């Protein structure tokens, strides 16, 4: 397994390879403030979330020459390098909602259900946000493709985790499309900024019934929470990995389970028959424990039995 890249290396590779989709628009020019002062001390990577798109554009214009990622859909913000003085200045800026240090995220183990069940899932797309997917594997047929690579590569899965996740999604819903969103390196880890870039890409490109699965340890990140909730509001069902096998719903309608790939496949199967269902309602129909009352009010006996037998 390859040596894990440090955050600066990940940033530089990603900035070169994905400039067309996440680079700062050339029309933006430094207006005033931070960008006019050359850094006289070490700068560290941060994620800045603005209070709105206009505020984000203004801030990016001011620090444009060190911005590494500019997010335009999943959240209003950007990833950048900041000195201690610049960090203090931005924290006091009323246009800024949150600032957090960029950090490494890692792939999480996912479990296989005791009795895996399969259904078509045709017409739905599952976005696998992970280490990539070996789309050419015979088991996928023509159902898998490399959609986006935030790490500077060509989407190849050299870590193996993403292909494993995609395989379990395919087992649960062999008719669903699988789009590879590569955000992790060959060591199955990567920068939070790259994960946000992947979610931003999905937000801008997802069409039709869509599911996103993230088997990553991105807990306690305000920026990631904002991006995921925004993706759910846009109509994409999002399921993240958890240590518990039982499904639970977080505020905003995001589902979590140690059986995340199987849950994503189950969602694709349901979306085949109900393509317009709201993601929060879909989460409740997948028998998440936090929504048992909603299930009783909207019974679907055959579907709930299917989910129960699948171990969700």
Given the DSSP bridges, would you call strands 210-214 and 104-106 parallel, antiparallel or unpaired?
A: unpaired
| Mean pLDDT for the stretch of residues 51-71 | 90
Q: What is the pLDDT of residues 261-270, one digit of tens each?
A: 999 999 999 9
Res 248: pLDDT: 83
Give the chain's domains with CATH numbers. Answer: 7-102 (3.30.70.80), 105-309 (3.40.50.200)
Q: Quote the pTM value.
A: 0.81
228 has a pLDDT exceeding 90: yes
Residue scoring higher pLDDT (123 or 249): 123
Sorted by sequence, the CB contacts under 8 Å of residue 234 that are 6+ apart come out as 203, 206
Q: What is the pLDDT of residues 63-92, one digit of tens each?
A: 766 899 999 999 999 999 999 999 999 999
Yes or no: say if 169 and 223 are a contact pair by the CB < 8 Å rule.
no
Residue scoring higher pLDDT (69 or 243): 69
Supply 123's token pair. Answer: 């017409």
Task: Evaluate the CA torsion angle 261, 262, 263, 264 in order and state its sign.
Answer: positive
Given the DSSP bridges, would you call strands 125-130 and 67-71 parallel, antiparallel or unpaired?
A: unpaired
DSSP state of 135: T
Helices 260-273 and 161-172 sit at what angle, rounded to 10 degrees? 40
240 has a pLDDT exceeding 80: yes
Q: What is the pLDDT of residues 145-202, one digit of tens each?
A: 999 999 988 888 999 999 999 999 999 999 999 999 999 999 999 999 999 999 999 9
For the beta carbon of residue 34, count every other beta carbon within 10 angstroms: 22
Sorted by sequence, the CB contacts under 8 Å of residue 79 that are 6+ apart come out as 11, 45, 46, 47, 48, 67, 68, 69, 71, 102, 191, 193, 196
- CA 222 remoteness from chain centre: 13
Yes or no: say if 200 and 212 are a contact pair by the CB < 8 Å rule.
no
Helices 7-17 and 192-205 sit at what angle, rounded to 10 degrees? 30
CA dist., res. 66 & res. 64, Å (int): 5
Yes or no: say if 286 and 270 are a contact pair by the CB < 8 Å rule.
yes
CA dist., res. 261 & res. 129, Å (int): 11
Given the DSSP bridges, would you call strands 125-130 and 44-50 parallel, antiparallel or unpaired?
A: unpaired
CA dist., res. 305 & res. 160, Å (int): 33
Yes or no: say if 95 and 60 are a contact pair by the CB < 8 Å rule.
no
Q: What is the pLDDT of residues 190-199, one digit of tens each?
A: 999 999 999 9
Res 41: pLDDT: 77
């Amino acid at each position: 397994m390859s040596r894990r890249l440090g955050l600066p290396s990940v940033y530089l590779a990603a900035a070169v390879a994905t400039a067309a989709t996440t680079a700062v628009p050339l029309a933006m020019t430094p207006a005033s403030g931070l960008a006019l002062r050359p850094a006289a001390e070490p700068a560290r990577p941060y994620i800045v979330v603005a209070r709105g798109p206009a505020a984000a554009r203004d801030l990016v214009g001011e620090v444009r020459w060190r911005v590494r990622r500019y997010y335009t859909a999943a959240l209003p913000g950007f990833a950048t390098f900041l000195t201690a003085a610049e960090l203090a200045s931005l924290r006091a800026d009323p246009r800024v909602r949150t600032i957090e240090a960029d950090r490494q995220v890692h792939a999480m183990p996912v479990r296989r259900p005791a009795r895996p069940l399969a259904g078509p899932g045709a017409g739905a797309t599952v976005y696998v946000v992970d280490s990539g997917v070996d789309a050419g594997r015979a088991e996928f047929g023509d159902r898998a493709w490399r959609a986006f690579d935030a790490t500077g590569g060509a989407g190849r899965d050299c870590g193996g985790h993403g292909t494993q996740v995609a395989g379990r999604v395919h087992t649960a819903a062999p008719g669903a499309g699988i789009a590879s969103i590569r955000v992790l390196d060959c060591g199955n880890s990567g920068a939070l900024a790259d994960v946000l870039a992947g979610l931003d890409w999905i937000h801008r490109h997802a069409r039709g019934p869509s599911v996103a699965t993230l088997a990553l340890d991105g807990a306690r990140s305000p920026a990631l929470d904002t991006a995921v909730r925004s993706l759910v509001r846009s109509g994409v069902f999002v399921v993240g990995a958890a240590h518990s096998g039982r499904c639970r719903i977080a505020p905003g309608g995001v589902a979590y389970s140690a059986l995340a790939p199987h849950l994503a496949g189950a969602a694709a199967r349901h979306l085949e028959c109900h393509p317009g269902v709201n993601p929060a309602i879909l989460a409740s129909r997948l028998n998440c424990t936090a929504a048992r009352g909603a299930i009783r009010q909207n019974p679907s006996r055959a579907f709930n039995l299917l989910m129960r037998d699948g171990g969700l």
